[in-house]
Structure 1
């Protein structure tokens, strides 16, 4: 593995384990057993590392939130798959979500990137939920739809931060999916509700 890639992987692991504010470039150099100058040759500081890592996160979710094809129909299974892959990506870059408000206040480029990402997430989820409503899987008026979207987006953004606060050492992405699916249950038709409840039980 190239030194640049090793540095990025090390930074991601240390940020995830210790939190970004608690990790320095010297910590990374020591962990990798390279000189600080070698690290500086590839990245001129922690901010440069963060810029690459957030770009990597955005790239990992781009195809999920902006698919090349726009299907005429969306099933509950499509929503489940989206959430499953989304929470896996969130868990991989969990340092972003365990301290998101702090990171956004300290790094303007993270604030701008995550605000744009949230807008994209909300548009994607709104499209899926509207298609489910059109197929009569989901029963919800426009006002209720906005509240549901808010709740789902808030769960995606802050679920890991909540897990950190309640001292869950190894958050399971499946638990995040389970939480979001649970929000949808009261709005589903009987058949879809039974299917989704069985899916939630399988995650438990």
Structure 2
């Protein structure tokens, strides 16, 4: 692994476990047993590291969304796996969400990216939900304003569940990903066709 990659890997680990506001580039260098000068050759400031970690997060979500959009025959299990995988990715970059407001204020480039991503993600989710309606997973007679509201609810939970877990539930990774996946999946329940509601109850709720 190249030094730059080692720095990113270690920074992500320390930001997640100890805290973004506590860890400096000197801490990262010391933990890697390299000189601060060596680290600063690759990254002048911790903000530069965070920009790349945020870009990694976005890229992983892009890949996940693109995979879902390409699926012709979408199933309830696809929806569950998509939601589960999203939670796993977000957990891997949890320091970003726990410190979201502070990071957006401190790094204007990320704030601009986030605003653009938020708009494009809404269109992508609308397209994905349309596919689930065509495959008779979601009801076809759901008003647009209700679907728009559902997407906003998903975004709000997705951006904030890690903070809720850290403050309230304090679940470890496996339990947290499972719990918040179901919490988000429950938002879809009223919009599932009757057959899919029964499948959801038996396959996911009774086994939780």
- Residue aligning to 2:50: 50
Give the paired residue count: 204
Task: Name which of 181, 185, 196 aligns with 2:200.
Answer: 196
Distance 1:155 1:6, change over 3 A: same
TM-score by length of 2: 0.87
Aligned positions of 1:107-146 closer than 5 A: 107-139=107-139, 140-146=142-148
User: Which SS does the other structure have where 2:188 is aligned?
Assistant: helix
Alpha-carbon distance in 1 for matches of 2:83, 2:68? 18
- Residue aligning to 1:10: 10
- Residue aligning to 1:164: 166
Alpha-carbon distance in 2 for matches of 1:21, 1:14? 11
Alpha-carbon distance in 1 for matches of 2:193, 2:6? 49
User: Which SS does the other structure have where 1:90 is aligned?
Assistant: helix
Alpha-carbon distance in 1 for matches of 2:47, 2:123? 29
Distance 1:167 1:85, change over 3 A: closer
Contact 1:155 1:180 in 2 (8 A): yes
Contact 2:29 2:39 in 1 (8 A): yes
Q: Tell me, which stretches of 5 or more residues in structure 2 are unaligned? A: none
Structure 1's consecutive aligned runs of 4 or more residues displaced over 6 angstroms after TM superposition are none
Q: CA RMSD in A?
A: 2.1
User: Which SS does the other structure have where 1:183 is aligned?
Assistant: coil
Alpha-carbon distance in 1 for matches of 2:83, 2:38? 39
Contact 2:76 2:196 in 1 (8 A): yes
Deviation at 1:46, TM superposition (A): 0.6
Task: Name which of 148, 169, 188 aligns with 1:184.
Answer: 188
User: Which SS does the other structure have where 2:77 is aligned?
Assistant: helix
User: Which SS does the other structure have where 1:159 is aligned?
Assistant: helix
Deviation at 1:174, TM superposition (A): 2.2
Deviation at 1:203, TM superposition (A): 6.4
